[in-house]
Structure 1
Amino acid sequence: MKVLPVLLIQMLTCCSAEKHNLSGKMFTFPEESDTAHVVLSPDQSKSLTAVTMCLRFFSDLVRAQSLFSFATPESSNAFLLYKQANGVYEVDQNDKFVLFRALGENPNQWNSVCVTWNSENGIAQVWVNGKYSARKGINKGKEISGAPSIVLGQEQDTYGGKFDKAQSFVGMVTDIHMWDSVLPSSEILLYMSRIPQKIGGNVINWESLDFTLKEYVILEDQ
């Protein structure tokens, strides 16, 4: 008879996570570390066969750094956006990756980045400040499945952890959205132009976000 109240409390805790509208806000990562990160809780955890993820970042780092790390129990790099060097972006899908080059960003300025992937044809593409990359294939016919662990500021070498200071992000991040489909180029260009989206991300929505700050990360006004 005591089990039911406990289960009820767990259900209420699970389903009552507070969502925050972070319009005009940003996450600031002030220093290199192997601890500071933000955990994002997605609005859905179903298997994904297509993805569009967009964010804006501001950094002066010239070394490699993780921009968006999505892990599952089966794959620490289920979907990863990793900046290897200026203008060179790595996209991982279930531990396979492709590189996109000649996509220059502006140091010490806001940069808008979107990445898309479609399981049906395996095609991935990266957009930076309105410029789009070549289209490249990765893991055609695969999907992203399993309970997600989504982290900003670090790259997950294991599910939810094993961070490396040399891969950490230093700077500011804002306007993060993720969809379970490949957005048309017209919508991506609207995002790049900072024109409000018709519909925010249905997996991660910056205007309705459940998140947890870990260690030295600051939420502040842009």
Structure 2
Amino acid sequence: MTALFVALLLIFTSGSGKVARASGAKGSRFVCTAVPAGTDLNCPVDTNNRVQSTSPQEEELRNTIIQLRETILLQKETIVSQQGTIKELNSKLARCEADARSRGNARRKNTMGDLPRDPAETVEQLGKTMQSLKDRLGNLEQQLRTNASGGPFPNELKDLLKRRLSDLEGQLLTRVAELEEEKSQLYNETAAHRQRTENTLKSLLERITELEKSNSAFKSPEDFKVSLPLRTNYLYGRIKKNLPEMYAFTVCMWLKSSASPGIGTPFSYGVPGQANEIVLIEWGNNPIELLVNDKVAQLPLSVSDGRWHHICITWTTRDGSWEAYQDGERLGTGENLAPWHPIKPGGVIILGQEQDIVGGRFDATQAFVGELSNFNMWDRVLRPIDISAMANCSTYMPGNVVPWVDANVEVFGGATKEALEICEDRLFDS
């Protein structure tokens, strides 16, 4: 009880700077009055336990004490609240550190797997996050620096926040540096991959160019031959051009063969529903035959001596008239070969094989063995003077329906295309 009374008296003293003194005493003495238990200390009492009347000075002191109590409570609540905020920031910082460590481990395990889609965007986002944390910590420091009573900000808490902020800034800068490095690596790898792709494409292009040159290594597009050295059912050439409907035609070519018996089938044209629309064949011991719509005419030609020979066949639907030329000389004519039958369009021209179905089902016994060049076709009957000029190498006339050019002929099964200047080679054979 005495201690409480002394404390109260000290508070009064600190509040007003005045105390009651005993009257008539020589020196200053404090007057102490005992207060019974349960008595309200805010109200002074006399020796008979009666409440004394309060002066304005005492009322002011009492109000000051109340304000100090409220201030102390407010400070306590503020400090508790700020401590909770600090704990929350510490928790978030710990999670950030754990996340950074886990990403670092995952990146070491598989660098390419964790590369960000856009490192620049990630760097920018981290910068914004760091600035936001700086602002929040700055606000927190400002709030704690000036509390309700204007008291000072605790130095320990200030130092802790500064250290945390410095650590966080360092971690974010480290992460930014890592992302910049990953961005550089990703760019380098992308550039290297692009360079490898370009080199591969360049090599392919060069190879294609070489192949095109090797396939077109002829002085002119028509200076080549198709070689069919074996009697098989898989060596053949194919003309890429399609025939229109025709009421007459002329077919000319150069042939070289010594096969026996019979040279086989230099060419055949088949259409849906009729595999023997046009066929030139020498099979077994039979003479060379011309088939039109599966109708047959025997031709007085002989080309199996192993030398180059120029062959031309003409036909017209009018009366089914035909003519056969060898080396510029007309050796035979005839009529009634599929008269009034138009040649059907939409078929396939095969060099070296007779077709049992359109474009296929070849018979090895009917295959052409030898070399063939300058296969041309017209949709009209050529004049004898034109045929003679081509056979004598005094002129060259490409067919208006099927011209003999490299791009129009493809070979299969081991057949080859080789360079050939037919007239020079024929003169050499002669």
Give TM class, smaller chain. Answer: 0.7 to 0.9
TM-score by length of 2: 0.44
Rg larger for: 2
Give the Cα–Cα distance (whole angstroms) in 1 for the partners of residues 292 and 366 of structure 2. 18
* Residue 373 of structure 2 is aligned to residue 174 of structure 1: yes
Give the Cα–Cα distance (whole angstroms) in 2 for the partners of residues 201 and 221 of structure 1. 20
Q: 1:220 and 1:69, CA in 2 relative to 1: closer, same or farther beyond 3 A?
A: same
Superposition pairs of residues 115-130 of structure 1, within 5 angstroms: 115-130=313-328
Question: 2:228 touches 2:369 (CA, 8 Å); kept in 1?
Answer: yes
Question: 1:40 touches 1:209 (CA, 8 Å); kept in 2?
Answer: no
Greater helix fraction, Structure 1 or Structure 2: 2
Structure 1: which 5+ residue stretches go unaligned?
Answer: 1-19
Superposition pairs of residues 84-123 of structure 1, within 5 angstroms: 84=283, 88-101=287-300, 103-105=301-303, 107-123=305-321
Candidates 225, 228, 234, aligned match of 1:35: 234
Give the Å deviation of 1:41. 1.7
Question: 2:277 touches 2:291 (CA, 8 Å); kept in 1?
Answer: yes
User: Deviation above 3 Å: which 4+ runs of structure 1?
Assistant: 84-87
Question: 1:156 touches 1:163 (CA, 8 Å); kept in 2?
Answer: yes
What is the aligned partner in structure 2 of residue 58 from structure 1? 256
Give the Cα–Cα distance (whole angstroms) in 2 for the partners of residues 169 and 82 of structure 1. 8
Question: 2:329 touches 2:388 (CA, 8 Å); kept in 1?
Answer: no
Give the Å deviation of 1:165. 0.6
Q: Tell me the alpha carbon deviations over residues 27-83 of structure 1, each in whole angstroms, 9 at most, x when there is no partner.
A: 1112111011111022x5320110100001111112230011011112111111112
What is the aligned partner in structure 2 of residue 207 from structure 1? 405
Q: 1:86 and 1:26, CA in 2 relative to 1: closer, same or farther beyond 3 A?
A: farther
Give the Cα–Cα distance (whole angstroms) in 2 for the partners of residues 61 and 81 of structure 1. 15
* Residue 356 of structure 2 is aligned to residue 188 of structure 1: no
Give the Cα–Cα distance (whole angstroms) in 2 for the partners of residues 106 and 98 of structure 1. 19
Give the Å deviation of 1:214. 1.1
TM-score by length of 1: 0.84
Amino acid at match of 1:80: V
Q: What is the RMSD of the two structures over their aligned residues, measured on CA atoms?
A: 1.9
Structure 2: which 5+ residue stretches go unaligned?
Answer: 1-215, 421-430
Give the Å deviation of 1:106. 5.6
Paired residues in the alignment total 200
Give % identity. 25
Greater strand fraction, Structure 1 or Structure 2: 1
